[in-house]
Structure 1
Amino acid sequence: MAELPGQARVVIIGGGAVGVSSLYHLAKARWTDCVLLEKNELTSGSTWHAAGNVPTFSSSWSLMNMQRYSAELYRGLAEEVGYPMNYHVTGSIRLAHGKERVREFQRAKGMGRYQGMEIDIIGPDEIRSRYPFIETHELEGALYDPNDGDIDPAQLTQALAKGARDMGATIVRFCPVTAVRRERGEWVVTTEKGEIRCEKVVNAAGYRAAEVGRLFGRDVPMMVMSHQYILFDEIPELKAWSEGAGRKLPLLRDVDTSYYLRQEKYGMNLGPYEKNCRAHWATPSDEMPDDFSFQLFPDDLERLEWYLNDAVARVPILGTAGLSKVINGPIPYAPDGNPLIGPMPGVPDAFEACVFTFGIAQAGGAGKVLAEWVTEGATEWDMWSCDPRRFTSFAADRDYAVAKGMEVYGHEYAIHFPRHAWPAGRGRKLSPIHDRIAALGAQFGAYNGWERANWYAHEGDDTSEAATQTFDREGPWFARIREECHAVRDAAGILDLPGFSRFRVQGEGARDWLSSLITGAVPKPGRIGLAYFADDKGRIQTEMSVMALAEDFFFLITAAVAEQHDFEWLQNHLPADAEISIQNVTDAFSCQILTGPASRAILQEVTQADLTQPWLTHQSAQIGERWCQLVRVSFAGELGWEIHTKVEDTATIFDAVWQAGQKHGLKPFGMFALDSLRLEKGYRAWKAELSTDYTVLQGGLERFVRWDKPDFIGKTALLNEKQAGVTRRFAVLTLDAPGPCDAPYMSTLWHDGQIVGETLSGGYGHRVDKSIALGMLRSELAVPGQAIEIEIFGERFAATVHGDGPLWDPQNLRLKN
């Protein structure tokens, strides 16, 4: 058994499949002076009882990338490291009971094709030919993935461990971590076997990640579910077929019913995700024991009875088999069901690779991503979907985490519709005028916990959850969004927008420091401007609005969900000797957007401010007797102002503006209308168009680059890209004859039978009366008038490119009025 060294470059805490994969990938990156600490034996947490399925399917582009990488890695791992593994690539059949499920599969097929995978849609006859024991009643079709399969989790972990050790990494088992401390810029990790110093540390503790997180003062947003699967005895008919065919059955998933069914030797393995699920260790009276290694919960088969009966009706030979064993073990869940991979929020040189619901399928890709974070400070793929900083403090609340985890588990296979929101854990952060806008008909969505109006219903509109479960653009909301957009176009609209992230930056040298971080110019006092932050490769890290109050005094405003990401970006780039302070003042302020041609007339009735000040200016003002900051910008692309207020003054100011606006046709509008309005202007959105998958130049943002500045982060990379030629460019497209659905994220763009790009946002523009997509396209095709096809749920639609400029008011005359 390996001894505990006194020093390492990286220490990983946790020896499941993800932790060991992280060690293996760090060693592959030639960071071999790394140590993994496991409190018991390798695989003793969730890994040892995992079913070991290895799907590539996902409705998330980044998760599909990660799972695809895992499957590719596993196919050659045994030979690479010299360790035998049972890895069965059987393919899988994912059943569809209705048209919306088929649409989801068509979208996944398109994404998979783009990533080089041979995913296909098959009909009932082909389902039976591939799976002869199935009954095909009530089926519309299925998704067939030839690369799906299953692997032995313990063998996988040991193979990765052998590979890591062979490259020089160290694994110390039976070595619980009891404390950590920061000392002289290093981490000191205390264990029962002594102390080890390291530059960086990784929490890969699986379902014990919250316990390890507390050692760092970090509240990990997670909970633990009880997940059961049932093993069945040998089935003679299955044995005869399998021996004759020389292979196993494909893995079957009935996702609309919510279970998988897999051949296990000549028996079967049934794993439901039941709605009547159970959380474990979820209350103070039910705390996690000190050690649960290689242990299971008691059987609880009553929860699974309905799912078992449905599976028997679908595959009748299952009903002839005796029950062999029930596995009921802990698996962790984050509030959105995705893992945590990346920097540990608020903790220097610390990372997370934990809370994996599908840890075996994702372990290979997770190790790659984690190693990139540690060794390069950035990842190849934009991995915001898994970034720990996507959650802020409210998400770590125990009740919230448990409610959301149970909800996600019970809907593990559910379709994610664009207008649908799950109801658990809502109402965490409310605007001061929440009740007022609710009374106006607001239908809410959560944005970093903040409740914002998505759209405003009228009496008689169907506002049920069921009504939102469609990919069609037209639902009860469609006519209302149109009315809201037209009110903004013709009169004025007001949008309550709580939760903007905002940071106060001030101190000697703040202007020069900001200039070194952003690609463009820092605005002068009294002005506001968009600023783009690139990484060393010229990729888009984030966008912030920079409001200059004085020469070295700024407010930086960014998206609600970007709060932790952007605040840490600023902190991490602040020189140690700088006399500059950065304060997160997000909770102190709120915002309302007033926009439309009548907005000036409305404000004239409630303020003495100078409303003739031009676009991209700001001023302190009074509305009534309350202070506000009037900012002359509009994400809607009309004459307008953002009205920034202290939280306690928000209601008073809203009431004054609302009352004054009634004779001018003022209407409330929501986030769905705002998205429609910004699409018509070609405005980019956080983690859609603005992501590290694209450079600043690819994003069509060169007008925000000041090449004459002495230096800024990413300048060299962008200069090199400009000289070599930008290969892909942002483009605005419209569908020539749209179908019932707008283009979802990562729809494939085609030209002359070849894939030439992807969409990043899609929706309907009610001012221009067109279905719009914002996309990334091969440069030579990103020109006005170019004909393109957009694949939307398996069908290709003719579309036209409009360059990278606005469809609505291309000269910005209405904005500058």
Structure 2
Amino acid sequence: MADLPARARVVIIGGGAVGCSSLYHLAKAGWTDCVLLEKNELTSGSTWHAAGNVPTFSTSWSLMNMQRYSTELYRGLAKAVDYPMNYHVTGSLRLAHTDERMREFQRAKGMGRYQGMDIEVIGADEIVKRYPFIDTHGLKGALYDPNDGDIDPAQLTQALAKGARDMGAKIVRFCPVTGVRQENDEWVVETEQGEIRCEIVVNAAGYRAAEVGKMFGRDIPMMVMSHQYILFEEIPELAAWSKEAGHKLPLLRDVDTSWYLRQEKNGMNLGPYERNCRAHWANADDPMPVDFSFQLFPDDLERLEWYLNDAVERVPILGTAGLSKVINGPIPYAPDGNPLIGPMPGVPNAFEACVFTFGIAQAGGAGKVLAEWVTQGATEWDMWSCDPRRFTAFASAPDYAVAKGKEIYGHEYAISFPRHAWPAARGRKLSPLHDRLKALGAEFGAANGWERANWYAHPGDDTSEEATQTFRREGPWQKRIREECHAVRDAAGILDLPGFSRFRLAGDGARDWLATQITGIVPKPGRIGLGYFADDKGRIVTEMSIMAIEENLFFLITAAVAELHDFEWLRSHLPQGTALTLENVTERFSCQILSGPNSRAILAEVSDADLSLPWLTHQSCQIAGRWLQLVRVSFAGEFGWELHTKVEDTAAVFDAVWAAGQKHGLKPFGMFALDSLRLEKSYRAWKQDLSTDYTVLQGGLERFVKWDKPDFRGKAALANEKQQGVKKRFVTLVVENPGECDAPYMATLWHDGKIVGETLSGGWGHRVDKSIALGMIRADLAEPGSTVEVEIFGDRFKAVVQKDEPLWDPKNERLRS
């Protein structure tokens, strides 16, 4: 057992597959002065009892990247580190019972092909050829992933550990961490073997991550589920087939009934994700034990009876096998089912690589991502899907985390539909207008916990959850979205937009500092403008609206979900010892969008504002005796304003505007309509069209780059890119003769049989009556009039590149009127 060193550059807490992968990748990056501390023996948490499945499948671009990388790493790891591993690349079949599931498979196939994987979508007849023991009743087809398989989790972890040790990293086992503190800008990690000082700490503590998080004053949004899988005895027919074929059966997943079935030697391994699931260690009556190393929960097979029967109907030979063993162990879940990889919110020089539901499949890629965060301060792929800062404080409430974790577990294989909202643990953050909007027919969705109206239903509209479980454009919402868009176009619409993240920046030199942080110009007092923040490689970090109140007083406004991400970006780049103040004032304010040609007439009746001030200005005024900041902008792309109010004044302002607006045709509109309206203006959405996967120039944002500024972050990289030639460019596409569906995120673009780009946003424009896609395309094809094909759920449609101006109001004449 290794002795505890006095200091290290990085200390990793947790010796499962993810912790060891993080250590391995740090060492590969040249950071060999790193130490991993494990409470017990390596793998003693979730790793030792993990089933070891290694899929690449995901409809998240970043998760697919991460899992694909894992499979590529694992294939060569045994040789690379000289450690034997059992890694069976068997391929897998995911079964589809519905047309919508087949659409999901087609989307994953397109994404996988883009990433260089030969994923196939096959019919029911082809399934039997690959899996002769299956009954295909009720099936539409399947997705075949040749890269899927299974690995021995303990061998994987030990291989990564050996590789890390061979490069000079250290592992100290049986060394529980008891606390952390900061002294002289370094961390002191307290353990039962003494103290170790370091620059950086990583929480890779698996299902004990919340316990470790509390040492940093951090409440981690997570819970722990009981997951069972059943091992069956040898099946003679399977043994005979496998011997003759010379390989194992593909791993089988019936995702519509929620189980996987894997050949285990000559027996079977069945793993259900049951709806009637169970959380553990969720409250004071069920505390987490001081040590649960290499332990399991008691069997609870009654929960699995329906799934076992369903699996036997699908693969009848399973019914002939005796039960060998039940594994029932803890696995952690975040509220959205994705892991936490990246900077620890609010804690400098601390990172998280924890709460992995599929830790074996993702460990390889997670180690790569974590090492990039630590050594470079940024990742190759945009990893917002796993960034710990995607959750704010509300998500750490135990009842919320447990409710969402159980919901995700019970729907582990569920399809992510564009109009669907999961119902558990809702209503966490309510606008002052919530009840008013509900009375008007609002159907809500949540952003960073804030309930926002997605669309407004009329009596008799189908508002069931089932109705939203479709990729098709048409649904009960479509007619209402169209009416809402046309109300904004022809009269006026009002949208309640609580939760905008906003930060107050003040102090001598604030303007000069801000100018070094954004690519463009800082607006003058009384004006508002967009600021784009680039990283050192010129990639798009974020977009903020910069409202200049005084020469050195600004409000920076950004997306609701960007609150922690953007605040920490700003705070981390403030000069040391600065007199500047940066304050997060998100909770104090709310916002409404009033947009449409009649909006001036409405405000004239209720406000004392100067309504002649031009576009991109702002002013303080009063409505119903309440102060607000009236801002002459509109993400809806029509003439109008944003009404920024104190939270306590929001309802009074809304009531006055609503009453005055009735004779002017004022209607409420929701987020679905806003998305349609912004697509017609080619307005970008954060972490959809704007991400670190693209540079500012690729994003079509050069008009926001002020090249003659002395310096700004990313300037050198962008100047070099401009000189060398931009390889991909942002474009607006119109899909001709579209089918039932609009382009989803990361739909593949084709030209002359080659992949030339991808879509980022897609939807129907109700003012122009066209299917629109915003995307990235090979630079030579970014010319107006160029034609490509967009692959939408397996079918290809002709799409035409539009001019470098919006489809609606291309000269912004309506906006400026």
Indicate the TM-score class for this superposition, using the shorter chain for normalisation.
Answer: over 0.9
**Residue 567 (structure 1) aligns with:** 567
What residue identity is the alignment partner of 1:468?
T
Corresponding residue for residue 153 of structure 1? 153
Matched, 1:475 2:472: no
The corresponding residue for 1:601 is 601
Contact 1:352/1:388, CA 8 A, preserved across alignment: yes
Equivalent-residue separation in structure 1 for 2:588 and 2:597 (angstroms): 30
Task: State the Cα distance separating 1:374 from its structure 2 match.
Answer: 0.1
**Aligned equivalents of 1:609, 1:366: Cα separation in 2:** 53
Structure 2 CA distance for aligned equivalents of residues 509 and 590 of structure 1: 28
Equivalences for 1:154-193 in 2 at 5 Å?
A: 154-193=154-193
Deviations 1:756-808 (A, max 9, x none): 00000000000000000000001110111111100000000011100442000
Aligned amino acid, residue 701 of structure 1: L
Partner-residue secondary structure (3-state), 2:590: strand
1:419 corresponds to which residue? 419
**TM superposition shift of 1:283:** 1.2
Deviation per residue, 1:540-580 (Å, 9 max, x gap): 00000000000000000000000000000000000112110
Amino acid at match of 1:136: T
Equivalence for 2:79: 79
Partner-residue secondary structure (3-state), 1:774: strand
CA distance in 2, matches of 1:296, 1:468: 38
- Looking at structure 2, the residues matched to 446 and 26 of structure 1 have their Cα atoms a distance apart, in angstroms, of 37
- Farther off after superposition, 717-726 or 796-805: 796-805
Deviations 1:720-761 (A, max 9, x none): 000000000000001110100000000000011110000000
Secondary structure of the structure 1 residue equivalent to 2:452: strand
TM-score by length of 1: 1.00
**Partner amino acid, structure 1, of 2:3:** E
Which residue of structure 1 aligns with residue 675 of structure 2? Answer: 675
Equivalent residue of 1:744, what SS?
A: coil
User: Partner of 1:465 in structure 2?
Assistant: 465
Amino acid corresponding to residue 783 of structure 2 in structure 1: V
> d(CA) in 1 for partners of 2:68 and 2:138?
30
State whether structure 2 residue 554 is matched by structure 1 residue 554. yes
**Which AA in structure 2 matches 1:120?**
E
The residue that corresponds to 1:516 in the other structure is 516
Paired amino acid for 1:408? I
Output the amino acid matched with 1:772: I
Contact 1:501–1:563 at 8 Å: present in 2 too? yes
Q: Please give the alpha-carbon distance, in whole angstroms, between the structure 1 residues aligned to 2:783 and 2:486.
A: 29
Q: Deviations over 1:50-101 (max 9, x none)?
A: 0000000001000000000000000000000000000000000000001000
- In structure 2, the residue matched to 1:646 is 646
> Could you tell me which residue of structure 2 aligns to residue 755 of structure 1?
755
Aligned residue identity for 1:806: P
Aligned to 1:506: 506
Measure how far apart 1:339 and its partner are: 0.2
Cα contact 1:730–1:804 (8 A) shared by 2? no
Q: Which amino acid aligns with 2:583?
A: Q
State the match for 2:276 in structure 1.
Answer: 276
In the alignment, structure 1 residue 583 sits paired with structure 2 residue 583: yes
Q: Give 2:273's aligned amino acid.
A: Y
| 2:504 counterpart letter in structure 1 | R
**RMSD over aligned Cα atoms:** 0.4
CA distance in 1, matches of 2:718, 2:798: 33
- Tell me the residue number matched to 2:292: 292
Structure 2 counterpart of 1:191, which letter?
A: T
1:531 paired to 2:531: yes
Map 1:318-329 to 2 at 5 A.
318-329=318-329
Does 267-276 or 123-132 show the bigger shift?
Answer: 123-132
Shift in Å, 1:450: 0.1
Could you tell me which residue of structure 1 aligns to residue 115 of structure 2? Answer: 115
**Structure 1 residue aligned with 2:379:** 379
Does 2:7 match 1:7? yes
Deviation at 1:471, TM superposition (A): 0.3
Amino acid at match of 1:602: I
Matches within 5 A, 1:775-814: 775-814=775-814
- The alpha carbon displacement at 1:411 in A equals 0.1
**Cα distance between partner residues in 2 of 1:52 and 1:106:** 26
Provide the residue aligned with 1:203 in structure 2.
203
User: Amino acid of the residue matched to residue 374 of structure 2?
Assistant: V
Ranges in structure 2 where 5+ consecutive residues have no aligned partner: none
Please name the residue that 1:241 is paired with.
241
Structure 1's consecutive aligned runs of 4 or more residues displaced over 6 angstroms after TM superposition are none
Counterpart-to-counterpart distance in 1, 2:389 and 2:425: 19
**Alpha-carbon separation, structure 2, partners of 1:70 and 1:455:** 40
- CA drift of 1:124 comes to 1.2
In the alignment, the residues of structure 2 paired with residue 630 and residue 676 of structure 1 have an alpha-carbon distance, to the nearest angstrom, of: 24
Rounded to whole Å, the distance in 1 between the matches of 2:406 and 2:378 is 32
Q: Distance in 2 between matches of 1:437 and 1:124?
A: 47
In 2, the alpha carbon distance for the partners of 1:489 and 1:784 equals 26
Name the amino acid aligned to 1:775: G
Secondary structure of 1:47's match?
A: coil
Provide the rounded CA distance (Å) in 2 between the counterparts of 1:314 and 1:651.
Answer: 56
Q: What are the equivalent positions in structure 2 for 1:16-31 lying under 5 Å apart? A: 16-31=16-31
**Separation of aligned partners in 2, 1:96 and 1:434:** 39
Q: Distance in 2 between matches of 1:347 and 1:506?
A: 23
Query: Helix, strand or coil for the counterpart of 1:48?
Result: coil
Q: Offset of 1:719 from its aligned partner?
A: 0.3
Is 1:64 equivalent to 2:59 in the alignment? no
| One-letter code aligned to 1:427 | G
Question: CA–CA distance in 2 between the matches of 1:28 and 1:802?
Answer: 45
Is 2:102 the counterpart of 1:102?
Answer: yes
Cα distance in 1 for partners of 2:805, 2:321 equals 63
1:488 positional shift? 0.2
Q: Deviations over 1:527-549 (max 9, x none)?
A: 00000000000000000000000
Matched position secondary structure for 2:549: strand
Give the equivalent residue in structure 2 for 1:705. Answer: 705
Matched, 1:331 2:334: no
Indicate conservation of the 8 Å contact 1:682/1:804, yes or no. Answer: no
2:725 & 2:309 partners in 1: Cα distance? 60
* Structure 1 residue 686, shift from structure 2 partner: 0.3
Q: Per the alignment, in what secondary structure is the counterpart of residue 688 of structure 2?
A: coil
Q: Give 1:702 shift.
A: 0.3
Q: In the alignment, what sits opposite 2:309?
A: 309
| Alignment size in residue pairs | 817
Following the alignment from structure 1 to structure 2, what is the Cα–Cα distance between the partners of residues 313 and 622?
68
Letter in 2 for 1:68: R
What whole-Å deviation, never above 9, does each CA across 1:424-466 have from its counterpart, x for those lacking one? 0100000001000100000000000000000000000000000
Alignment of structure 1 residues 345-356 onto 2, 5 Å:
345-356=345-356
Is the counterpart of residue 136 in structure 1 residue 148 in structure 2?
A: no
Instruction: Measure how far apart 1:16 and its partner are.
Output: 0.2
- 8 Å contact kept, 1:616–1:632: yes
Residues 385-428 of structure 1: CA deviation (Å, up to 9, x unaligned)? 00000000000000000000000000000111000011001000
Task: Report the identity percentage.
Answer: 82
SS in 2 for 1:605: helix
The gaps in structure 1 that reach 5 residues or longer are none
- Equivalent in the alignment of 1:250: 250
CA distance in 2: counterparts of 1:317 and 1:751, whole angstroms: 47
Task: Give the 3-state SS of the residue equivalent to 2:815 in structure 1.
Answer: coil
Whether 1:771 aligns to 2:776 is: no
Name the SS for the 2:453 alignment partner: strand
Shift of 1:500: 0.3
- Cα distance in 1 between the residues matched to 2:399 and 2:746: 34
Contact 1:782 1:803 in 2 (8 A): no
Q: Which amino acid aligns with 1:302?
A: E
Deviation at 1:624, TM superposition (A): 1.8
Query: Which whole-Å CA distance do the structure 1 matches of 2:724 and 2:342 have between them?
Result: 32
- Secondary structure (helix, strand or coil) at the match of 2:606 reads coil
Q: Normalising by structure 2, report the TM-score.
A: 1.00
Letter in 1 for 2:508: E
**Partner amino acid, structure 1, of 2:727:** T
